[in-house]
């Protein structure tokens, strides 16, 4: 195994820190670049000598170049993950969500690093494909600055592939859940909000009738795919949806939380969120073609891990 580290931008965050754990467990050296805006030191095993944390911003080109030195691959996960933050302040989030990607590409080009994983989002499809299983060729409709920056990042990565031989593995995540997902904003992932409130005995609000569905993926199953993308000798070109192609409604989710915890606090139903997508589900045939994907973690089991049961 090469001793050259793998750089993980955003490695102190929810998804990044699970990837860090998995890589360290495999014996790899890992370098994290994170500005700790939503990520936390406590998400990282900082006493592990194979892990280095560089605190700083992916918008800082010189710092990204320094972080890249001697690395053998990159997982570029750093971004302001809140869509609402991008709507409120497109200029600031663009620095993280787009300029950061460009800095990663440039640092890779100048230092000859080839392999990069990129965390894109189902947000690039907007409302297109709603109701059907969305495949990667579904027309793109980025409706927010967040989605525009993700799609533009994908396209820049493809430019660097064609022009400079980068090997990007672009993943469009659907709804990822698991331990360490931050529940603190109203726009945080619904599972992190519902489970935190269920544990605290606080009332839960469902926006709409609860019959809207999402394609929830346990973070450990995503990490299993990311690990493969770092190691495969060759990568097929083109983005890959990360979803299970399974629809779970919020009402089903609440029933599962009740099953795992034994009880539920008061649940009320309010107005649906403006612009909320009713049904979001991935066509994941490309994922299954390109990566080994064992039977996914059942929702109840993922919830039990999240709830520490």
The residues binding ligand UD2 (CB under 6 A) are 83, 121-123, 175, 187-190, 193, 205-207, 212, 214, 250, 273, 276-277, 280
Closer of 155 and 163 to ligand UD2 (Cβ): 155
- Residues 88 and 144: beta-carbon distance below 8 Å: no
Residue placing its CB nearer to ligand NAD in the complex, 269 or 279: 279
Q: Which is nearer to ligand UD2, 63 or 195 (CB)?
A: 195
Smaller CB separation from ligand NAD, 264 or 307: 307
80 touching ligand NAD, by CB under 6 A: yes
Interaction partner, residue 214 (ligand NAD, ligand UD2, none; CB < 5-8 Å by kind):
ligand UD2
Residue 194 is a binding residue for ligand NAD (CB under 6 A):
no
Whether residue 269 lies in the annotated active site: no
d(CA 306, CA 309): 8
Strand ranges for 92-230 from DSSP E: 115-121, 133-134, 167-173, 175-177, 204-207, 213-214, 216-218
* Strands, E assignment, the chain: 6-9, 30-34, 51-55, 73-76, 115-121, 133-134, 167-173, 175-177, 204-207, 213-214, 216-218, 240-242, 248-249, 267-270, 281-282
306 binding ligand NAD? (CB under 6 A)? no
Q: Tell the burial category of 244 from Cβ atoms under 10 Å away from its Cβ (0-12, 13-18, 19+).
A: buried
Identify which of residues 68 and 79 has a Cβ nearer to ligand UD2 in the complex. Answer: 79
Give the contact letters, 30-69, x = binds to ligand NAD (CB under 6 A), - = no. ----xxxxxx-----------------xxx----------
Q: Distance of CA 231 to CAs 103, 250, 281, Å?
A: 23, 36, 28
Judged by beta carbon distances under 5 to 8 A according to partner kind, the member of ligand NAD, ligand UD2, none in contact with residue 138 is none
> In the bound complex, what is the minimum distance in angstroms from residue 123's beta carbon to ligand UD2?
3
Contact predicate 40/62, CB 8 Å: no
Binds ligand NAD (CB under 6 A): choice among 6, 8, 12, 257? 12
Task: Please tell me which residue in 125, 146, 160, 218 is annotated as part of the active site.
Answer: 146
Q: Residues 105-134: x/- map of binding to ligand NAD (CB under 6 A)?
A: --------------x-x-------------
Residue 176 near ligand NAD by CB under 6 A? yes
Residue 124 tokens, joined: 């690039």
CA distance 108 to 71: 9
- Structure tokens belonging to residue 180: 């360490």
The conformation of residue 41, written as its DSSP 8-state character, comes to G
Residue 91 beta carbon to ligand NAD: minimum distance, rounded to whole angstroms: 13
Positions annotated as catalytic residues are 146
């Amino acid at each position: 195994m090469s001793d050259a580290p793998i750089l993980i931008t955003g490695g102190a965050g929810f998804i990044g820190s699970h990837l860090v754990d998995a890589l360290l467990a495999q014996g790899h050296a890992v370098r994290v670049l994170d500005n700790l805006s939503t990520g936390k030191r406590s998400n990282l095993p900082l006493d592990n000598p194979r892990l280095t944390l560089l605190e700083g911003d992916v918008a800082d080109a010189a710092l990204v170049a320094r972080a890249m030195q001697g690395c053998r691959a990159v997982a570029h996960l750093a971004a302001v993950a809140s869509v609402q933050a991008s709507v409120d302040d497109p200029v600031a989030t663009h620095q993280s969500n787009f300029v950061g990607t460009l800095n990663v590409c440039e640092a890779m080009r100048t230092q000859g690093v080839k392999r990069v994983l990129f965390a894109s989002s189902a947000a690039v499809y907007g409302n297109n494909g709603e109701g059907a299983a969305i495949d990667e060729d579904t027309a793109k409709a980025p409706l927010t600055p967040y989605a525009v920056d993700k799609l533009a990042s994908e396209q820049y990565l493809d430019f660097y592939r064609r022009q400079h031989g980068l090997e990007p593995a672009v993943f469009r995540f659907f709804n990822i859940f698991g331990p360490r997902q931050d529940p603190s904003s109203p726009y945080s992932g619904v599972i992190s909000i519902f489970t935190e409130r269920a544990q605290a005995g606080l009332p839960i609000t469902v926006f709409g009738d609860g019959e809207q569905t999402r394609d929830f993926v346990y973070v450990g199953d995503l990490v299993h795919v990311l690990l493969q993308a770092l190691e495969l000798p060759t990568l097929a070109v083109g983005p890959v949806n990360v979803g299970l192609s399974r629809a779970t409604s919020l009402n089903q989710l609440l029933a599962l939380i009740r099953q795992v915890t034994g009880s539920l606090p008061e649940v009320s139903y309010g107005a649906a969120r403006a612009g909320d997508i009713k049904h979001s589900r991935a066509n994941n045939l490309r994922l299954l073609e390109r990566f080994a994907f064992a039977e996914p973690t059942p929702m109840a089991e993922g919830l039990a891990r999240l709830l520490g049961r």
